[in-house]
Amino acid sequence: MPYRFLTLSDVAELLNVAPAQVYTLVRSGDLQAIKIGARGQWRVEDKSLENYIATLYAATAEFVAHNPR
């Protein structure tokens, strides 16, 4: 069963980037996340990650349309 909430390390693995880069995306507000518990562990909802990826696809398509080879 897939998990609804992912750790920043899980997200980093899925995106094939460093965990620090995911943390930066969360802190900048680019990737929506929540803090849970007294220690404030970050969690990203699977839907938030999918929305972020969809936004990147749209931005990439716009970039390619405006910057042909």
Would you list the DSSP string of 39-51?
Answer: TTEEEEEHHHHHH
Edge-to-edge strand ranges of the sheet holding 34-36: 5-6, 41-45, 34-36
Q: Which domains are delineated in the chain? A: 5-66 (1.10.1660.10)
Looking at residue 1, its pLDDT comes to 58
Looking at residue 2, its pLDDT comes to 72
Looking at residue 68, its pLDDT comes to 82
Helices (H), the chain: 8-15, 19-28, 46-66
User: Mean pLDDT by 10-residue block, N- to C-terminus, for the chain (69 residues)?
Assistant: 89 98 98 95 97 98 92
